[in-house]
Amino acid sequence: MKITVGKENSTPINLYYEDHGKGQPIVLIHGFPLSGNAWEKEVAALLKDGYRTITYDRRGFGNSSKPAKGYDYDTFASDLDKLMTELDLHDVCLVGHSMGTGEIARYIGNYGSERVSGAVFVSPLEPFFLKTDDNPEGVEEKVFTGFKQAIMEDRLAYLTGFFQDFYNLDVTLGKSVSKEVVQYNWNVAAGASPMGTLNCVSAWMTDFRKDIPHIDVPSLIIQGDADRILPLSVTGERFHKQLKGSKLVVLKDAPHGIPWTHAADINRELLTFLAQLPAGKSMSFASSAPH
């Protein structure tokens, strides 16, 4: 299915989504540079446990439209809001991986949590990945400039290198991830918008620190301690300290692409978290729950 979220010149901008099952709705937001199919192992577990699962492809990726504009988190959050409104979703648990965690933070920051009962951040981008005077723990801007240059010079070669670190293939290949999975991921990424792939790098530098205080629902953070894309010390650990009431689960020796390599762990933690959610949003959670 598709919904229209905007227009570029004479062409509508459509988001592709899949909506399966019944029960409490779980919206799963994929990471860069993949599509909603990246959640196939989680969707199977959620459907088996009686949840309604909604996946969608971010603009520029998968089967969604590939406009030349709109690759920023205000637009991404607006796209998510249009999807939530179109499907009339309530009591939703938002689950994001990597870039997909940014949609959750900015959506709640911009639109509030009236429709949201919980949030799960897998390999998070938060709180702020760019190094600045007031964020000395971040990554130098020249690193992002290098990523952009590599994409402009040879996007397909860049993607090959990216997945090396996405899965820590020197350690995991043939064990927790097959060469076929890597090839499939590369194919999905190669079919993405070149402009979207390039411009998403700028989105990685988004500052989410003002969004975090607005996240007033039960929140779970899951990350591997061997994450080479978004290192735990720069992202998950700092995010956990800033997000009141959040729970942090660290997976030993796990890479960035844990929705595939550590799907059993993700599913266990996700289903446990969902089972503990209140019937509706707990407004008092953020102020009352311990770290």
Q: Among 105, 99, 62, 72, which Cα is nearest to 216's? A: 105
- Annotated active-site residue 227? The verdict is yes
Out of 30, 97, 240, 256, pick the active-site residue.
256
Contacts of 53 (CB under 8 A, 6+ apart): 18, 19, 20, 21, 25, 26, 28, 39, 42, 43, 46, 47
Out of 65, 98, 176, 193, pick the active-site residue.
98
The vertex-240 CA angle with 234 and 243, nearest 5°, equals: 125
- Annotated active-site residue 35? The verdict is no
List the helix and strand counts (H, then E) for the chain.
11, 8
Out of 227, 240, 246, 262, pick the active-site residue.
227
Whether the upstream peptide bond of residue 290 has omega within 30° of 0, thus cis, is no
- Annotated active-site residue 262? The verdict is no
Any idea which residues carry the catalytic annotation? 98, 227, 256
